[in-house]
A and B are shown apart, each in its own frame.
Chain A
Amino acid sequence: RPALPVHRSARRVAIFGGTHGNEMSGVMLVNLWVQNNTEVQRKGVEVQPFITNPKAVEKCTRYVDTDLNRAFTPENLSTLGGGDLPYEVRRAQEINRMFGPKGSPEAYDVIFDLHNTTSNMGCTLLLESSKDHFNLQMMNYIQASVSNSNLYCVCCFFAGLEVGPQPQGVLRSNIFESMRDILKHALDFIELFNAGMEFPPCTVEVFRLSERIDYPRDDNGNIIAMVHPNLQDCDWEPLNPGDPMFQTFDGKTIHYQGSGTVYPTFINEAAYYEKQQAFATTRRESLVASAIRKA
């Protein structure tokens, strides 16, 4: 029979909370597990819960100087400057030392970066690469195990677990427990994998990030329309050419003018107004994940 792709054991796992200091599920879960890590212990795995942006958590703000989740660039990670550097750049360097460097043998095997969104995205696993068979298999395992069907997978630029909708600075019990449940199954998967279980090939439906669409703005950069009520909260539902997209303040509709059907996500995320993004479009794909087994 053909040789299986083998993957090294996932011996060290990190769970990051508070990368954005006002995304409360991750903050509260990690604080809980830092105090008492019984719930996240698994045989053969070292699990490290960690608050990545403590200053932002203390102020209950997304970031202090700059977005930590955009700070892990090669330039930032290698720059000198010490105390003069923005707080989050210094944090990125420290986190890279503790849990990376990325791609090196010392790096942690799996990192779960916990996020919330004001968008109605349900539970979304964000993957950096569509060729990441380990994560695709983990996704497949979680989908089969969780009770709610509100689980999506996006190929994007950064990895993480995103659960919404939840306002910034607010802790909703249902959102908190959903995230907790997903992590439970993710850690179970890792334990089973490390114990030698073989996971056969599977198909995973993913949404591949396509375009970022900004709000209509005037010459001064002020927004002149809002996400249309027909699009609001409709993350993952098809958006067809001609469908309502924005509503101006005096009630007029602006329609989607794309060439084909897309699947919008991150619809009306609070943090993206300053990043010039009203929503992102994605295209649906079926990815085949190879069978995997521990080396």
Chain B
Amino acid sequence: MEHTSFPPLSRVAICGGTHGNELSGVYIVKEMQKQKVEKIGSVSVISVLSNPPAIDVCRRYTETDLNRCFSDAKLSSTLTDSAAYEMRRAHELNAQLGPKGGEKAVDLIIDLHNTTSNMGVCLILSYLDWLTLHICKYIQTKMTSAPVTVMQLNDSNADGYSLDMLGKHGFAIEVGPQPHGVLRADIFNMMKRTLDFTTDWLQEFNDGHIFEGGEVETYSFLRSVDYPRDASGQITAAIHPQLQDKDFTLLQPGDPMFLSFSGETVKYEGEPVYPMFVNECAYYEKKIAFHLAEKITLKVPSISVKN
């Protein structure tokens, strides 16, 4: 594969509290703002509390999920008086960190999230980008204390709906398991380390280091599975104990998926797949019990900064 170069990454945004009750990111950003962190080495840093009213009440959102407001369609819509707070905020963030797809957009957005699922450290890419894949590869080599997985959502730029889409490059750091509204020191420390490795990489990149090509193993989103429900929409089963906490462990046909309240086991039928976001609290209302993914090994070229 041909060596690829990118312009220097001089403006980076670190965002926390995109979901107001995912506390690691909230407190990392609050600390950065308290310590007035504006530069890390050669990189100027903007730290952002994405959804302050949701943070104040410690809820995911006040009216609508902020992290679904950044598609091209939503960002170009005219805001009416009755527009949800988060739609307004998305437009504000687009003006501050974007505009999405524009020349003035920040070079990189790192969006900090937590999940109630047992996903460890998971780096989420909305679409494939050699630069962010190299960051992921670097973090995977450096983090020896915990496994790091890379997830790709396969969104087109236009459809990409998450906050990290606003920057020229972007990805989310998702760490779990942590209950929403709880701040665990071990989870906080893992997210901090992941962020520190990211800024280390940015230093090396801007300094001219050549990052060798290679392979990155990713989990590519296929589809979602909902809970079994009754006629009135109430769930009638829980994630089976043998699937609970088994994110990124191969699920084979015949493996248990749900345990109904009346004691029946519902088994998985289909091709072998990898479950992720198993029993994420916020996904009950989105009718998702878990996502399914296939493992895809991607080849990345060597990259360096363009001078």
Contact = CB atoms under 8 A, between A and B. Distances in A.
Contacts of A147: none
Interface in B183-198: 183-186, 188-189
A268 B189 contact: no
A283 interface: no
Contacts of A118: 179, 181-182
Interface in A149-190: 165-174, 176
Interface stretch (B76-84, B94-102, B210-218, B238-246): B238-246
Contacts of A171: 235, 238-239, 279
B234 interface: yes
A82 to B, nearest CB: 27
B182 A268 contact: yes
Nearest to A172: B244
Interface string B216-254: 000000000000000000110011110010000000000
Interface string B245-288: 00000000000000101000000000000000001011011000
Nearest to B242: A173
A247 B185 contact: yes
Contact of B182 (A249, A270, A274): A270
A229 B261 contact: no
Interface string B25-49: 0011011000000000000000000
Given A118-B182, A167-B281, A249 B31 contact: yes
A217 to B, nearest CB: 13
B180 interface: yes
Contacts of A28: 235, 238, 261
Contacts of B5: none
Contact of B238 (A176, A223, A249): A176
Contacts of B28: 249
A168 to B, nearest CB: 6
Given A172-B238, A222-B30, A249-B27, A232 B180 contact: no
B261 A168 contact: no
B302 interface: no
Nearest to A167: B179
B199 interface: no
A271 B180 CA distance: 10
Contacts of B182: 118, 167, 268, 270
A228 B185 contact: yes
Contacts of A228: 185
A111 B239 CA distance: 29
Contact of B180 (A31, A168, A176, A229): A168
Contacts of B10: none
Contacts of B189: 229, 251
B62 interface: no
B152 interface: no
A170 B183 contact: no
A107 to B, nearest CB: 30
A232 B188 CA distance: 13
Nearest to A249: B31
- Greatest chain A CB density within 10 A among B116, B189, B238, B241 is at B238
B181 A168 contact: yes
Contacts of A268: 182-184
Contacts of B282: 169
A32 interface: yes
A220 B134 CA distance: 41
B246 to A, nearest CB: 12
Given A31-B234, A32-B261, A270-B180, A173 B240 contact: yes
A176 B258 CA distance: 13
B241 A226 contact: no
A229 B238 contact: no
Contacts of A170: 116, 179, 279, 281
Contacts of B180: 167-169, 270
Interface string A245-262: 001011100000000000
Contacts of B178: 167
A13 B229 CA distance: 30
Contacts of A32: 261
Contacts of B235: 28, 171
A32 B230 CA distance: 12
A227 to B, nearest CB: 6
A169 B284 contact: yes
B240 A232 contact: no
Contacts of A229: 185-186, 189
Contacts of A169: 116, 180, 281-282, 284
B281 A168 contact: yes
B184 A172 contact: no
Interface string B108-139: 00000000100000000000000000000000
A167 B182 CA distance: 9
Contacts of A249: 27-28, 31, 188
Contacts of A270: 179-182
14 contacts: A118-B181, A118-B182, A167-B178, A167-B281, A169-B281, A173-B239, A173-B241, A173-B244, A174-B241, A176-B238, A223-B183, A226-B183, A232-B184, A247-B185
Interface of B: 27-28, 30-31, 58-59, 116, 177-186, 188-189, 234-235, 238-241, 244, 259, 261, 279, 281-282, 284-285
**Closest CB pairs A-B (n = 5):** A167-B179, A270-B181, A173-B238, A169-B281, A226-B185
